[in-house]
Structure 1
Amino acid sequence: MVDMTNKRLSVAPMIDWTTTDYRYFARLFNPQVYLYTEMISTGALIHGNRARHLRFDALEHPVVLQLGGADIAEMTQCAEFAQQHNYDEVNINVGCPSDRVQHNKIGACLMAEPNTVANLVTHMQAAVDIPVTVKHRIGIDDFDSYEFMADFVKTVADAGCTRFIVHARTAWLQGLSPKQNREIPPLRYDDVYRLKQDFPELDIEINGGIETVADIATHLQYIDGVMIGRAFYHNPYLLAEANSLWNKPMPKREDILAHLYPYLEEQLTKGETLSTMARHYLGLFQGLPGARKWRQALSGKPQLTLDDIKKAADEVLQLNPNA
């Protein structure tokens, strides 16, 4: 059994997916995990609907704001927003490979500019009391040697960053889509383990291709944390199973729903749309009899009601009394 005293498990930032409605849902499965926002650009926070972008329920703590940007003044201002809105941490995205963010010098392309990232860390940490962390890849394009990554980490660590979340794949900035960048470049977990060996004073987390509690436990023998994205999203009960790492019991799906319904009612009074929220809950019964009917009941219905959700859930729970 892994000693979780100084270990961390996180739900990865995923654009359009890790909204406050998903994060609240995820928290119901596991009180220990760290929850990340979607990557939010500095422009969206400075010029857009900041209150909506930054809103979250108090139950979501610990929650981390992930920022996309490279301008020192803007990133520093947004770190201050994070602290003002009571986020527990702010994270710099140095891993997203999409063309759109490259154009704005956001994401994985910043691995080629370690001094830029170091300057961001220096100024952001000077402005806030909450931790400033970095999520990055093991390399970009042909700059994919271990030494390239280690030099990047050393430069940024020298500026004061102590926690690095490493997606254990190289990012190809040309020729691969973001989806392909999550699947095609080979996983190199050993490089992340080596990073921890070479920088034992840093907190090193690993991300990419991790899908089971057994996988999590294996990685935690070598590094300080594990981050999982799509596996947690598509099968949220994996979050419940992960409670075993802390020797905590798994909540039942019936209990999850009992806490979720009041939240949905409250959001409806605020003018939120139920069908928009419900899209995050399609995986609740993943792998169980009735899971398909549950997904069908919640999908593609603009006029979805809370009674519709309760009826669909009751039907699946009858098929799975121990779920």
Structure 2
Amino acid sequence: MAMAMGDPSGIGPEIALKAWAQAHDGQAHDGDIAPFFVLADPAHLKRLGRSIGLDLPITTVEPQNAAAVFADALPVVPLSAAVSGEPGRPSATDAPLTIEAIERAVAYVYAGAASAVVTNPISKDNLYKAGFKHPGHTEFLGELAERLFGQPALPVMMLWSPELAVVPVTIHIALARVLETLTSELIVKTARITAHDLKQHFGLARPRLAISGLNPHAGENGSMGREDIDIIKPAIATLNAEGIVVSGPHPADTLFHAEARARYDAAICMYHDQALIPIKTLAFDSAVNVTLGLPFIRTSPDHGTAYDIAGTGKASAASLIAALDLAARMARTPAGAVA
């Protein structure tokens, strides 16, 4: 698997080191960690490891040789320049390296040199200063799918954990723009992709999707806004007519307790925080960000750069290890039962 380093001044490099260390020290995690290589600056990783008491063996490799050395050293595919930022102090000059790591990771999957892409957290603000034109990872991966694979893609962000899976229909936009962006067509496309990939990579023959409402109480029959009637209900009718198992619109405030979660496999939510608050409450350390709708597998830890603890040795690799584990299971077989 190809791992992009993320923002080198965040905790991405540290948790990459810790993931390799935990793969070799017998610490408890779900299954064995499949071999991976990191696209990063080897010297930066060595300095960081020594500073946090994790002076691991690191070997520079070509991607095709990574699995052979994984048992003895962390395989690193060097980037085109050295990292200049320090932990907790990001540098705008590192932004092109962050982008390069993502692009090359996807390119290695396209070339057959890696089975999946695992990305560490990025700082969108830092990338914007370097001219990054995408709202986030998800949208950038969609562009790479079209550029490298020649396949137009609608990338769909799913946050997955054993407790809950959620998909926001609108993602990295201001709450004020949700109403102008949300359409029946977008809901239908998002749900189709979710159902398809839950079948393809999660072993669910008939995925059950719960569609949330937009307004409190799903609009209370229009008294709190007609969006649930005019936008969401027609989308549900279309999906049901296509044979996709969907229900709703459900009031969001009663959709995420244990009894409700037992009735669906993924919740399709109308905006970012409606989806992410419940899963980060239930599974902050174990949730994985999965991009659906792409011609390649991509997962990521479900947290940010954590500049405040970068370089202190305090960062947990739990979500990254979960992302590695999920990517490996999704890649092993198209019909692999993950859920």
Question: What's the TM-score once normalised by structure 2's chain length?
Answer: 0.29
Q: Larger relative CO (CA 8 A, sep 6+): 1 or 2?
A: 2
Question: What's the TM-score once normalised by structure 1's chain length?
Answer: 0.30
